[in-house]
Structure 1
């Protein structure tokens, strides 16, 4: 088939170390944390902080955590991505060619784009694997792709799906995943999202202080690309699909580095719920479409231990979409929508 009549699809994620070894983790962190969209401090302070403090000290600690995550097949993020790619390829058929790419490490976005360029596809669709837009994830991928293809002599028709938290099929897919864990059997549900510095949220709407916004209750006009607002909107959509009342669930943000990040903080909420007498806690992470260090280890292991230390009995992580057929269908619908 003539490639000029075909569409290349890139499923792009942040990335993963090549191996659970200090050298590989150090290389991954170096690429990741030197991204100007990830740490948006002045250039000199970013380089000083990342290269002389964070990476040297964090790499050995992170390596131990990655070893807990790794399976015989390799990094779960990469393994699930490849399964997802294969399923989506079958679903879309010969008019499409599906690739996976990582913003940092392998398979790199650059190498995949080079193949797309070489084959001469007529259309390119990029889907960052993040339901809610954030500058440090979707924004970074979008900027990188745009900079690369802007240098091509022939630029194909190009579309990037910047977020999909409110797509009906995505909501349906995640709700099905949650329902499979019988949420009514739990005392409380926490919807946990990856945290971000408050200053990055404020850059989305400079005239409005995110700590004083009412986006917890409804999506404001300025909130379409506000990560905090869309996280709360995602929760409301899922709660509606599951028939939950406000007392049944809470929203929290995990993986914080400082107290100037989005709150409430998930680790503190875990302790709070345990002290309130909650015995069975269900955790949902709708900012992640594939299980990774932040879900499997941080929530599934670290938070469970924290919960039990303070009187809780069971903390259950809801498995992410991974290679579930409903997730493949979500991606198929997203691609056909553009």
Structure 2
């Protein structure tokens, strides 16, 4: 057996290219995941393949075209650079692999490589700070199913959510402090939205609107996405010594009104109506800049904000390959391997 420890970094993924066929293939794989759209199989197939994808694929392709760079998809090439930096920091006792849940480079190919090299230990590390069934859960379940399919006998270690790790909080605080906070009227922490029903599965019998997690992390909140994003915000705000009136929390990327609220775009309009014309936006559910940050926030939300009379909307760059983020990952890996 290989005495090194294999580390598999897992992120969501990206289309292979900004073309209609590639984007359609990616959306088909992504949206047909039962943990992403958690409705009965037949209804999901009809909704995704006959309604959502046909009506969404051309618009999504245009967005990816705008996002694409000479190096390709930012999510992919940034993740590849992060993988190499983490490898350099961990040294020869570890070998770091990258596998996307959907698309290329895929987690299955990465696990096949790991299997071929005969590692005795494998660390699965989904790059999602807060646990959700559509991110962390689907990544871990898919990876473990593939490990079983390949007959891998290595010891498996999992790194689940890490939203409350001091190293992670400090990394985002460092990013935020790259901006002069005195130059902004307000800070908005924007998180990827989820359907209310997915959140309520974490605490059966407690509806989202009746949950106390906006004020403090409740007893049931360990894996409640809404609870953990509010806790993430509190931890960052405390480090920055922000007053409660200095910041707000919103959710973006919604597909319907029955998703977590408040919605970030509506929150921006509300703050603008209060005379807050210079807004700093932080997105702590994303560790890598992607379509949801670079385009949705920094382009679409910013454009709308300025059109309505705002003066500036500034997105804080995500952790990407920042040194503090690499060191955070080193800590997570070594903690999992103890």
- Which residue number corresponds to residue 101 of structure 2? 103
CA distance in 2, matches of 1:154, 1:280: 53
Q: Does residue 68 of the first structure (1) align with residue 66 of the second (2)? A: yes
Deviating more after overlay: 144-153 vs 155-164? 144-153
Query: How big is the shift at 1:207?
Result: 2.3
- Which residue number corresponds to residue 20 of structure 1? 18
Query: How big is the shift at 1:152?
Result: 4.0
Query: How big is the shift at 1:57?
Result: 1.4
CA distance in 2, matches of 1:182, 1:156: 48
- Which residue number corresponds to residue 290 of structure 1? 288
Aligned partner of 2:265 among 264, 267, 283? 267
CA distance in 2, matches of 1:206, 1:271: 33
Aligned partner of 1:151 among 141, 149, 152? 149
Kept after mapping to 2: 8 A contact 1:277/1:311: no
Task: Tell me the alpha carbon deviations over residues 39-64 of structure 1, each in whole angstroms, 9 at most, x when there is no partner.
Answer: 01111110001001111111100010
Query: How big is the shift at 1:184?
Result: 2.2
Deviating more after overlay: 281-290 vs 158-167? 158-167
Task: Tell me the alpha carbon deviations over residues 210-254 of structure 1, each in whole angstroms, 9 at most, x when there is no partner.
Answer: 221111110001000000000000000000111111100000000
Task: Tell me the alpha carbon deviations over residues 48-86 of structure 1, each in whole angstroms, 9 at most, x when there is no partner.
Answer: 010011111111000101111111111000111011011
Aligned residues: 336
Aligned partner of 2:205 among 204, 207, 230? 207
- Which residue number corresponds to residue 196 of structure 2? 198
- Which residue number corresponds to residue 222 of structure 1? 220
- Which residue number corresponds to residue 158 of structure 2? 160
CA distance in 1, matches of 2:22, 2:152: 36
Deviating more after overlay: 154-163 vs 105-114? 154-163
Query: How big is the shift at 1:15?
Result: 0.4
- Which residue number corresponds to residue 318 of structure 2? 320
- Which residue number corresponds to residue 251 of structure 1? 249
> What is the aligned-residue RMSD (CA, Å)?
0.9
CA distance in 1, matches of 2:152, 2:51: 43
Kept after mapping to 2: 8 A contact 1:275/1:310: no
Query: How big is the shift at 1:154?
Result: 4.2
Query: How big is the shift at 1:147?
Result: 1.1
Task: Tell me the alpha carbon deviations over residues 168-193 of structure 1, each in whole angstroms, 9 at most, x when there is no partner.
Answer: 10000000000101222200000000
CA distance in 2, matches of 1:82, 1:72: 15
CA distance in 2, matches of 1:154, 1:242: 45
Q: Which secondary structure state, in structure 2, belongs to the residue aligned with residue 14 of structure 1?
A: strand
Q: Which secondary structure state, in structure 2, belongs to the residue aligned with residue 207 of structure 1?
A: coil
Task: Tell me the alpha carbon deviations over residues 273-331 of structure 1, each in whole angstroms, 9 at most, x when there is no partner.
Answer: 11211110000000000000000000000001111122111000000000000000000
- Which residue number corresponds to residue 308 of structure 2? 310
CA distance in 1, matches of 2:50, 2:98: 32
CA distance in 1, matches of 2:89, 2:306: 43
Aligned partner of 1:51 among 49, 52, 66? 49
Question: How does the TM-score come out when normalised to structure 1?
Answer: 0.98
Unaligned runs of 5+ in 1: none
Kept after mapping to 2: 8 A contact 1:252/1:265: yes
Kept after mapping to 2: 8 A contact 1:131/1:163: yes
Task: Tell me the alpha carbon deviations over residues 76-100 of structure 1, each in whole angstroms, 9 at most, x when there is no partner.
Answer: 0011101101110000011111011
Q: Which secondary structure state, in structure 1, belongs to the residue aligned with residue 30 of structure 2?
A: helix
